[in-house]
């Protein structure tokens, strides 16, 4: 069955969307290899076929699914081997992780580095992003980035409950990675691709886990290079 | 097999320990009814038999287990029916929830109301708690409580990722409660028993979920009355 993942693409074929990285890892976890279709964030016509305006979008035969969590649910149902969630409790707590990362980490981390993202997307996408982010936050991208060294230090501490898990096991989900690992990895992967600095400190257990995550699936995470 | 749970007890037989409430719900979830043994927090001799100085302690035949998460793991292994975790991913993500609640919610909520806890424990326990908490935080209990209306409003917002889960399902763990529900419930149950105000607002979906949690197991959570 043909699988196609529509996802944001930047200059030099960089794939920077954090939600797309969740879908990429979920597909790899299931042993599935999709065709990747990069789209520009400002080119809504390219994915109008999905009848909504967000990527990533997975086309799996007759099914068209958007929203990274729904893509993971679709994969878990259709390809039950190699569980991403491992049952109802695991799926529910993965949903909690999804909300925690998307409400606690992403809105604090991403605005700090949009100004750098402009350097790796085309001009039209850059103007689109500047407009949208500045409107959403009521600040210029320059203002959002102004104190980011201090902001990044505070964000690092938000991951403390994750570090607690990694003290007794190699992955957040246990002895093997699963979907909640991919959720937590995604903003760090975004920062790796976009930010001119490493947002983690050397010696941080989270940085060691991130390396393990980058090694998975024949180095899938390294197919887009680090910026720093 | 005889089961005994050693837990903190206050005046008029109030059971206020949040970690003990996790163990109480985990036992009830498994259909197990322990004998409850209240101990005073300042009376370490009462649980010296466990060779450590923390409660709750579960004695299950020849096994003596302390630490609420280890008690849950013990129950899940020994009594596998009616899963608390539902497999390795669920257990790992429950551990993450445990760390998130214990690092994000508990250390912000509990200090605000220790001054009220003194009213429902005996004098020796009260003096012990005042000494320990004031030393740990470098502030008097009165100072810790000084701005608590504002502090409680900020703590309420920390639960937003939980509210996101409850929009699509009745319990954090899905259609039925499981251990992560008991973890999140525990500081709210502590506040219900100790605080002279309801820390949640009427109409909050989290308050409706708390009612469902209090209803479980023939109203187990209501066996110690609300303070407010």
- Asked which of A78, A111, A135 is the last residue of a domain, the reply is A78
Across the A/B interface, how many CB contacts are shorter than 8 Å? 112
With respect to residue A199, please indicate whether it lies within any of the assigned structural domains: yes
Asked if A43 and A147 sit in the same domain, the reply is no
- pLDDT tens digit string along B30-79? 999 999 999 999 898 998 999 998 999 999 999 999 999 999 999 999 99
B28 CA to centre of own chain:
14
H/E element, A117: helix A106-117
Which of the four pLDDT bands, split at 50, 70 and 90, describes residue B228?
confident
Domain-located, residue A210: yes
Kindly state whether residues B96 and B72 are assigned to the same domain: no
ipTM exceeds 0.85, yes or no: yes
Is there a single domain that holds both residue A99 and residue A163? Answer: yes
Kindly report which listed range (A31-35, A38-42, B158-162) carries the lowest average pLDDT score: A38-42
Containing H/E element for A131? Answer: helix A123-137
B132 domain residue, yes or no:
yes
CA B95/CA A75 separation, integer angstroms: 25
Of B60, B78, B96, which marks where a domain is finished? B78
Residue A34 shares a structural domain with residue A121: no
Whether B73 and B184 share a structural domain: no
- Examine the domain organization and report whether A110 and A55 are in the same domain: no
> A100 CA to chain B: closest CA distance, Å?
5
- Residue B184: is its pLDDT beyond 70? yes
In this structure, are A10 and A102 located in the same domain?
no
Q: Is position B73 within any domain? A: yes
Asked if B93 lies within 8 A of A95 by C-beta distance, the reply is no
In a domain, B83, yes or no: no
* Residue among A86, A161, A168 whose CB faces B90 most closely: A86
Q: Rounded to the nearest 5 degrees, what angle is found at the Cα of B139, between the Cα atoms of B133 and B142?
A: 90
* Res. B88: pLDDT tops 70: yes
Q: For residues A74 and A92, state if they share a domain.
A: no
In this prediction, residues A211-217 reach a mean pLDDT of 98
Residue B65 inside a domain? The answer is yes
A-chain residues near B206 (CB < 8 A): none
Judge whether residue B1 has pLDDT over 70.
no
Residues B64 and B158 in one domain: no
**Residue B43 has which token pair?**
């009376």
The answer to whether the Cβ–Cβ distance between B96 and A97 falls below 8 Å is yes
Could you read off the pLDDT of A144-197 as tens digits, one per residue?
999 999 999 999 999 999 999 999 999 999 999 999 999 999 999 999 999 999
Please tell me the total count of domains within chain A: 2
Domain hosting B49: range is: 3-78
Q: Per the domain annotation, does A83 fall within a domain?
A: no
Which chain B residues are closer than 8 Å to A174 by Cβ?
88-89, 91-92
Is there a single domain that holds both residue B61 and residue B171?
Answer: no
Task: For residue A99, give the chain B residue with the closest CA.
Answer: B161
Three-class secondary structure assignment of chain B:
CCEEEEEECCHHHCCCCHHHHHHHHHHHHCCCCCEEEEECCCCHHHHHHHCCCCCCEEEECCEEEECHHHHHHHHHHHCCCCCCCCCHHHHHHHHHHHHHHHHHHHHHHHHHHHHHHHHHCCHHHHHHHHHHHHHHHCCCHHHHHCCHHHHHHHHHHHCHHHHHHHCCCCECCECCCCHHHHHHHHHHHHHHHHCCCCCCCCCCHHHHHHHHHHHHHHHHHHHCCCCC
Of chain A, the percentage scoring pLDDT greater than 90 comes to 97
Is A228 within the bounds of a domain?
A: no
The Cα A46–Cα A32 span in angstroms is 24
Residue B59: give its domain's CATH number. 3.40.30.10
pLDDT of residue B225: 94
Same-domain status, A173 and A64: no
CATH of the domain at B171: 1.20.1050.10
**Would the CB atoms of B161 and A91 count as touching at under 8 Å?**
no
Which one of A78, A104, A124 terminates a domain?
Answer: A78
State mean pLDDT over B174-202.
98
Q: Which of A87, A104, A171 sits opposite B90 (nearest CB)?
A: A87
Residue A228 has pLDDT above 90, yes or no: no
Q: pTM value?
A: 0.97
CA B49, CA B54: separation in Å to the nearest integer?
Answer: 11
- The answer to whether the Cβ–Cβ distance between A89 and B164 falls below 8 Å is no
Do A64 and A123 belong to one domain? Answer: no
Distance from CA of B82 to the nearest CA of A (A): 12
Q: Report chain B residues touching chain A, CB-CB < 8 A.
A: 83, 85-97, 99-100, 103-104, 160-162, 164-165, 168-169, 171-175, 178, 180
Q: B178 to chain A: nearest residue by CA?
A: A89
Over range A44-62, report the average pLDDT: 93
Residues of A in contact with B92 (CB under 8 A): 165, 169, 171-174, 180
């Amino acid at each position: 069955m043909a699988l196609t993942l529509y996802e944001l693409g930047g200059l030099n074929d960089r794939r920077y969307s954090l939600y797309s990285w969740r879908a990429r890892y979920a597909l790899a976890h299931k042993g599935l290899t999709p065709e990747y279709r990069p789209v520009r964030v400002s080119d809504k016509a390219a994915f109008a076929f999905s009848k909504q305006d967000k990527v990533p979008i997975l086309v799996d035969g007759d099914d068209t699914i958007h929203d990274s969590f729904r893509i993971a649910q679709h994969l878990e149902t259709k390809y039950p081997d190699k569980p991403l969630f491992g049952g109802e409790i695991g799926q529910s707590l993965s949903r909690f992780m999804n909300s925690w990362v998307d409400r606690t980490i992403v809105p604090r981390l991403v605005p700090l580095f949009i100004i750098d993202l402009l350097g790796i997307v085309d001009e039209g996408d850059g103007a689109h992003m500047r407009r949208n982010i500045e409107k959403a936050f009521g600040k210029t991208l320059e203002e959002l980035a102004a104190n980011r060294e201090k902001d990044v230090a505070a964000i690092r501490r938000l991951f403390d409950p994750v570090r607690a898990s990694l003290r007794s096991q190699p992955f957040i989900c246990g002895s093997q990675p699963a979907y909640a690992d991919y959720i937590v990895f995604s903003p760090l992967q975004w920062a790796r691709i976009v930010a001119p600095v490493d947002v983690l400190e050397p010696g941080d257990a989270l940085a060691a886990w991130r390396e393990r995550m980058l090694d998975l699936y024949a180095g899938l995470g390294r197919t887009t290079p680090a910026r720093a």
